[in-house]
Amino acid sequence: KQEVTQIPAALSVPEGENLVLNCSFTDSAIYNLQWFRQDPGKGLTSLLLIQSSQREQTSGRLNASLDKSSGRSTLYIAASQPGDSATYLCASYSGNTPLVFGKGTRLSVIA
Amino acid sequence: DAGVTQSPTHLIKTRGQQVTLRCSPKSGHDTVSWYQQALGQGPQFIFQYYEEEERQRGNFPDRFSGHQFPNYSSELNVNALLLGDSALYLCASSLVQGGEAFFGQGTRLTVV
């Protein structure tokens, strides 16, 4: 059974700092991994989807990497802004299974 | 494209009552999944519908049931509500199973 863990659970950084959010998964036989952003009380916004054959994906200031062999993915946020404050969730898809989510990392960017 | 839309946004129900939540998937998406998210937790999979059939189901009791209509929209029904059913209910759609999932804004259910 796939288990997804996100560390740290919460993170507070000053504006402008580059930061890395971590996601680990127990079953390396994944088809893809997706990163989401969630604002308080709201739904999930898809940020990046990495297919199992890919090593990384980039969108603007965001870069997500995937290392299946080690069971890890990272989300890199460059030049953080207060508007980046939210909870970031990663979820893995392993084929014929639903998305399995971590509990998320709550990010606060302080102006 | 309006994306995934859910209704209602919020509702309050009494223990023992029944509730129906609705979801319209992103245009062209035929696969709809429902998730329950408790405060401070990641979303937990309830079930997935494709071609009007339940394709997969998570570890939820039979009080949770669903339906998918020919236009791919979907309903989640919960019977005999318990206080523990209070949560944010999320609907997601995808073009294919395992494809990029798009989520709605959620329905906040409070059971009192």
User: How many Å apart are CA A110 and CA A68, to the nearest integer?
Assistant: 33
Is-contact A62 A56, C-beta < 8 A? Answer: no
Q: Residues 6 or more apart from B62 whose CB is under 8 A from it?
A: none
Three-state secondary structure call for residue B85: helix
> How is residue B26 annotated by DSSP?
P
Q: Which residues have C-beta within 8 Å of that of residue B51, sequence separation ≥ 6?
A: B30, B68
For A101, the closest chain B residue by CA position comes to: B42
Residue A5, beta-bridge partner list: A24
Return the pLDDT at A1: 86
Number of cross-chain residue pairs from A and B with Cβ atoms under 8 Å apart: 58
Three-class DSSP category at B18:
coil
Place of tokens 């508007």: A83
Does the pLDDT at position B2 exceed 80? no
Only one residue has tokens 């259910």, namely B109
Is A40 in CB contact (< 8 Å) with chain B? no
| Subunit contact A36:B103, Cβ cutoff 8 A | yes
Rounded Cα–Cα distance for residues A9 and A87 (Å): 9
- Residue B92: its chain A contacts at CB < 8 A? 44, 99
For residue A46, give the nearest of B41, B98, B102 by CB distance: B102
- CB of B101 within 8 Å of any CB in chain A? yes
DSSP structure string for A52-90: TT-SEEEETTEEEEEETTTTEEEEEE-S--GGG-EEEEE
Question: For residue B68, what pLDDT band results from cuts at 50, 70 and 90?
Answer: very high
Residue A104 is classified by DSSP as -
Three-state secondary structure along A3-58? Answer: CEEEECCEEEEECCCCEEEEEEECCCCCCEEEEEEECCCCCEEEEEEEECCCCEEE
Instruction: State residue B24's pLDDT score.
Output: 98
Query: How far does A79 lie from chain B, in Å, by closest CA?
Result: 26
pLDDT values of chain A reduced to their tens digit, one per residue, 111 residues: 899 999 999 999 999 999 999 999 998 889 899 999 999 999 999 999 999 999 999 999 999 999 999 999 999 999 999 999 999 999 999 877 789 999 999 999 999
